[in-house]
Amino acid sequence: MTHKVFIDGDVGTTGLQIRERLERRADIQLIRVDPSLRKDVNARVAAFAEADVGILCLPDPAAEEIVAACDAQGVSARIIDASTAHRIHPAWTFGLPELAPGQREAVASAARVSNPGCWSTSAIALLRPLVDAGVIAADADIAISGVSGYSGGGKSMIEEFEAGTAQGSFLYGATQSHKHLPEIVAYGRLSKPPVFVPSVGQYAQGMAVAVQLTLSPKEQARAAEALRDHYAASAFIAIVEAEAHQPRVNPQALNGTNRLELSVQGNPQTGATALIAVLDNLGKGASGAAVQNLNLMLGLDETTGL
């Protein structure tokens, strides 16, 4: 059986990688809009109406606009949104199938799915099982940091680095208004925002994230056990021994995959703890996650094409 898919915004980084992944599959027929009409709302709404599932790879305002246009024209399209526009919208299902029991089924049956961000995928994957298990309190003092390849910054940042005009690696988000914070709080089941200071490195692709907090030696052991239990049946998320992420965490180790590796690090004597996540920011952090969600929505094995 062939499934029809329309990617709205397939010339951007995420959309292009989704398209490349789907073009290799015999079970997917990509719906195309004439390039001269790629900004024409009516032509795009018609494409959504024809597709089994549409995927939005657009800036937030454009994503909101096309969803509203589909609704206004009575097109009840099934949609995956890779932007941040609908990440915590109550009518949209959060597209992290491994989030909690029942989430995979919720994604499979959903009409509208919000694809998680790369930073939030890492943080939530570490935090949610531990909050649910009572290892971490919802109001715990938490800090999040890490490094991502510049491809996560979109077209303008990619051009800046590839043209050689970037000023090197940098921190950002110090004002604590990062666009991923609301979803980290909501789906990590936190009662207050963590302190979040991400950074961009001088390389294209790959991400390493550290969630920092204080846990006793017993809690550190419980954290590792809770993560192993939670992801025991996961096809894409693995819990690795601390040694796998020592002495240096390689943010590019999982490039080209839809995998996410998690580990529990720390000093048992002081309680200083670092929960580590490694993933491809364009894989499980973006396009790979969208394809995983697409597979579920089409009733396919979630690993198809991944």
Do residues 271 and 214 make contact, with C-beta atoms less than 8 angstroms apart? Answer: yes
Q: Which of 296, 145, 166, 269 is nearest to 208 (CA)?
A: 145
Domain 3-115+286-297 has CATH 3.40.50.720: yes
Q: What is the reported pTM?
A: 0.95
In whole angstroms, give the CA distance from residue 50 to residue 58: 19
DSSP string, 19-66: HHHHHT-TTEEEE---GGGTT-HHHHHHHHHH-SEEEE-S-HHHHHHH
Instruction: Give Cβ neighbours of residue 124 (< 8 Å, ≥ 6 apart).
Output: 96, 99, 116, 183, 184, 187, 188
Q: Which residues of the chain have pLDDT under 50?
A: none
Given the residues 96, 118, 135, 260, select the one marked as catalytic.
Answer: 118
Provide the pLDDT for residue 17: 95
Provide the pLDDT for residue 165: 83
Domain residue ranges of the chain, discontinuous segments joined by +? 3-115+286-297, 118-281
Provide the pLDDT for residue 151: 86
- Beta pairing class for 28-31 and 3-8: parallel
Provide the pLDDT for residue 103: 98
In whole angstroms, give the CA distance from residue 31 to residue 207: 32
Q: Cα-Cα-Cα-Cα dihedral of 254, 255, 258, 259, to 10°?
A: 10
Provide the pLDDT for residue 166: 81
Fold of 118-281: Dihydrodipicolinate Reductase; domain 2 (3.30.360)
CB atoms within 10 A of CB 111: 13
118 is catalytic: yes
Provide the pLDDT for residue 38: 86
For residue 135, what are its two tokens? Answer: 């290892």
Provide the pLDDT for residue 163: 79
In whole angstroms, give the CA distance from residue 261 to residue 269: 25
| Residue ranges with strand state E in 37-142 | 53-56, 79-81, 93-94, 112-114
Provide the pLDDT for residue 153: 79
Provide the pLDDT for residue 156: 79
